[in-house]
Amino acid sequence: MLTDIEVANLVTKTIQGVIGTSPTILHEPKFVGNEWNYLKECLDTGFVSSVGKFVDRFEYELASYTKSKYAIAVVNGTAALHIALSLSGVKPGDEVLIPSLSFVATANAVTYCGAIPHFVESETVHLGIDAHKIREYLKSIAEIKSGQLVNRLSGRVIRAVVPMHTFGHPVQLEELLKLAHDFNLVLVEDAAESLGSFYHGKHTGTFGLFGTLSFNGNKTITTGGGGAILTQDEALAKHAKHITTTAKIPHSWDYVHDEIGYNYRMPNINAALGCAQLESLPSFLESKRILFHKYKDAFQSIDSVSIMEEPKNCKSNYWLQTLRLGDELKTARDSLLKNTNDNGVMTRPCWRLLHTLEPFKNSPKMEMNVAESLEQTLINIPSSSFLSSLIV
């Protein structure tokens, strides 16, 4: 049986055997296309803010790629989720079911609506929320009254469920859609990490009433900062675009705003970067898939260490390559993280479970034995698309 330090050394050397020994960070952007040309056009024309052709083009090309009827570009993924939840009918005092195993933005967006995050369990194959356990849980704590799901323990309406596609791996969408239907829940997908991921041949973010994307600097493609709202509903798309543009009614000179709006529109200069990045997306995805297979081969010889693979009938973008430690190696996690980072290989643990964070300690939650185990056994390793070019 190897010691924790020996496991850490072995993992570090295995990663370096795949990508080399030069210092690496977790996920870097790659600019190999028309980024300079499109950014220069913005500067030359002066269209750098929220007005300009690249915003419309980026929205059109996003919708075309994802096969969503509509895409609305905004300043970041959190803003996208905030607006999606708000337009889904989430009201102050409502509860929203979200995974505790997620980035904090998922919970923050719920609170922006004045609602309460209700944390639920995850499962090990997709790393997303466990539809089967949630079904049994809701049967035990909630009931439908006047067409609304009401939490018997709190008296509050449970309005929506927000599956998040962890590290780009699609969740159990078929089961979750059935769950949402049976319990009168609105389904809003947090697809911030899954541009380029497909469930049964259909792009993530296009199953629920809304889906949301992120284009932060560490995502598969980046606009610097940015996000998008996806929907199939024309009226909701128009409303989303309206309120993310300060709810200003078009007029040649007057300032008329007909409801509370948000200054959430993506600037043209960011959209220009996004248009160039979308052109390179297929090659990015292929490179990340090559990297996955190289990692998979390299780690096959190490007991109790495996790399997360796309679930059956799914196609993952492999945004962040993720190691899963066997339960017997839980104690080795921190040694592994320290050893890799000390040797120039940036690794990161999974997020701390959201229900353990100070702002959410009093939020409702179900038992989360699986999520707690995943928190202690998932480690992200270098995943940049250009790393596959270092593989011989």
Q: Considering the chain, what percentage of its residues have pLDDT values greater than 90?
A: 95
Instruction: List, by residue range, all CATH 3.90.1150.10 domains of the chain.
Output: 4-28+280-390
Does residue 392 carry a pLDDT above 80?
A: no
Amino acid at residue number 72: I
* CA–CA distance, 247 with 155 (Å, rounded to integer): 33
User: Length of the chain, please?
Assistant: 392
Q: Give yes or no for a contact between 87 and 108, defined as CB atoms under 8 angstroms apart.
A: no
User: What's the whole-number mean pLDDT along residues 222-227?
Assistant: 97
Cα within 13 Å of Cα(322), Cβ side? 25
Average pLDDT value over all residues in the chain: 97
Tokens of 226: 């940015």
Give the tens place of pLDDT for each residue, 67-117: 999 999 999 999 999 999 999 999 999 999 999 999 999 999 999 999 999
The CATH number for 35-278, chosen from 1.10.645.10, 3.40.640.10, 1.10.3720.10, 3.40.50.2020, is: 3.40.640.10
* CA–CA distance, 207 with 224 (Å, rounded to integer): 27
Tokens of 198: 């497909």
| CATH architecture assigned to 4-28+280-390 | Alpha-Beta Complex (3.90)
Q: What is the pTM of this model?
A: 0.97
* CA–CA distance, 392 with 382 (Å, rounded to integer): 17
Which backbone phi and psi does 324 adopt, to 5 degrees?
Answer: -120, 120
Residue 129: which pLDDT band, with cuts at 50, 70 and 90? very high
Tokens of 260: 């509370």
Write the secondary structure of 296-355 as one string of H (helix), E (strand) and C (coil).
Answer: HHHHCCCCCEEECCCCCCEECCCCCCEEEECHHHHHHHHHHHHHHHHCCECCEECCCCHH
Among the listed residues 172, 103, 168, the one whose alpha carbon sits nearest the alpha carbon of residue 135: 172
- C-alpha torsion sign, points 274, 277, 279, 282: negative
- Give the per-residue pLDDT at 389: 84
Does residue 1 carry a pLDDT above 80?
A: no
* CA–CA distance, 314 with 198 (Å, rounded to integer): 6
Instruction: List, by residue range, all CATH 3.40.640.10 domains of the chain.
Output: 35-278
Cα 338 from chain centroid (whole Å): 26
